[in-house]
Amino acid sequence: MDETPETVFKFTAEGVDLEFAGSEAFVERQVQRFRHFLEGAAGIEPTAATAEEAADVTPQTFSEFCAKRPPRSGRGAIQDRILLAVYFMNVVRKKREVSADDILHRFQSAEWERPKNLHNALGVLKRKVGHLQEGSRRGLYQLSPVGLRYLEGRYEPA
C-alpha cells in the first residue's frame, strides 16, 4: 500500500498544547486557521501587512467590528458578547490576554448592558463551555482553540 506519511505539528507555550496530525494539507489548514492565536501565544509581534491584508481594512472600533458581527439576543447573548469582546482584543487588537475590566470597557463602548455577574460568566465560558482559557495569571483570559473555532465558524475571520 502506498501511504502518504503523516505530518505532525506540535506547539506548546505557557499552558497551551496543540497537536495537529494528518495529511500535510490538513495540518497546513489548521496552522493557518490558528495562526493569529499561535503567534500571540508565542509572543510574535504582527508583521507588516501584505498588500492583500492592507486592502482588507480592519474595523477601527469595537462598535464597527460588532456591526459586521451582530451578537445573538436572548439566551446566550451575554456569553456571545463576552466572546466577541475577547476575540476582538485577541485577534484584531493582538492583545494576548484580557481582563474583566477590558471586557467591561468593550461592553461600555458598544453601549451594551453590563453583565450582572461577569466573573461567573467568564468561569462558565472557561470551565463548562471551554471557549476561554486562563492567561498567564489569575483574572486574565484568552480564547481557547475551541473558542476561536466557534467564533470563526459563527462569523467570518477578522
Distance CA 92, CA 62 (A): 10
Three cell numbers at 147? 473558542
Three cell numbers at 131? 471557549
Three cell numbers at 126? 472557561
Cβ contacts of 144 within 8 Å, gap of 6 or more: 130, 131, 132, 133
Total-model pTM: 0.62
Please report which confidence band the pLDDT of residue 4 belongs to, taking 50, 70 and 90 as the band edges: low
Structural domains of the chain sorted by starting position, each given as residue range(s) with its CATH number in brackets: 59-154 (1.10.10.10)
pLDDT tens-digit profile of 25-52? 777 878 787 777 777 776 676 554 444 4
Coil vs helix vs strand at 20: strand
What is the structure's pLDDT at 39? Answer: 75
Three cell numbers at 139? 483574572
Which helix (H) or strand (E) element contains residue 70?
none
C-alpha 49: how far from chain center: 20
